[in-house]
Amino acid sequence: MPDLRLAWAVARGGRAERREAAWALVRRLLAREGHPDALLSNPCPRCGGPHGPVRVAGAPWRASVSYAGAVAVVGIHPDTVTAFGLDAEPLADPVRDAGGGVDGGLLRWVRTEAVLKADERGLRIDPAELEFTEAGNGWSARISDRTEAFIGWEPDGVPGILVSVALMRGAASSPQRLGADAFGSGGRAR
């Protein structure tokens, strides 16, 4: 059974409603793993405001959240890694496409965002500072000011959405078990 747990659902409303929908998914995933009382927070590492990476207290898991249009995509991974992040984007986005797409292509952008979320510095790092290498059925990425590499992959499962996952296990790690135990908005295991 893969280490990544992935879930998604349509998240309507404003920022607060979307966040609550995403956090409800994270709580469901944690409950399925035997941690129904885990607490979530997202303090910004710079200012302390509630807009930073999702933190899990009371369970040995890491969590990451992304929004792809009206779809909230969340993942949890055992806290056996030193970093974990995911990003998601719709495969078709008329606004993005009308603007000329994304520099370097959508796949590179989603991978970049996943790495920058895992790194927890976000776009304070220039995306040009990342170097990607294809590696078997995944990829690796380095940020110019770090010696450790991130490993990543694109899990299957979310219809019409490109999802990329990045994590760091240590300098000697390589991608393994690149699937996901996932459920969609209906809550059914896939």
pLDDT for res 163: 97
Entry pTM:
0.86
pLDDT for res 65: 97
pLDDT for res 122: 80
- Residues 33-59, mean pLDDT to the nearest whole number: 92
Number of helical H runs and strand E runs in the chain:
3, 11
Question: What span, in angstroms and rounded, lies between the C-alpha atoms of 86 and 123?
Answer: 14
Question: What span, in angstroms and rounded, lies between the C-alpha atoms of 99 and 93?
Answer: 10
Q: For residue 130, is pLDDT > 60?
A: yes
- Edge-to-edge order in the sheet of strand 83-90: 83-90, 161-168, 150-153, 138-143, 130-135
Residue pointed to by tokens 């995403």: 22
Give the DSSP H or E segment for 26: helix 15-32
- 65-95 pLDDT, tens digit each: 999 989 999 999 999 999 999 999 999 988 8
pLDDT for res 2: 64
In eight-state DSSP terms, residue 118 is H
Contact 2, 179 (CB under 8 A): yes
Question: What span, in angstroms and rounded, lies between the C-alpha atoms of 119 and 88?
Answer: 16
pLDDT for res 108: 93
Is 109 strand, coil or helix? helix
Higher pLDDT, 165 or 185: 165
Q: For residue 181, is pLDDT > 60?
A: no
Q: For residue 178, is pLDDT > 70?
A: no
pLDDT for res 80: 93
Q: For residue 186, is pLDDT > 60?
A: no
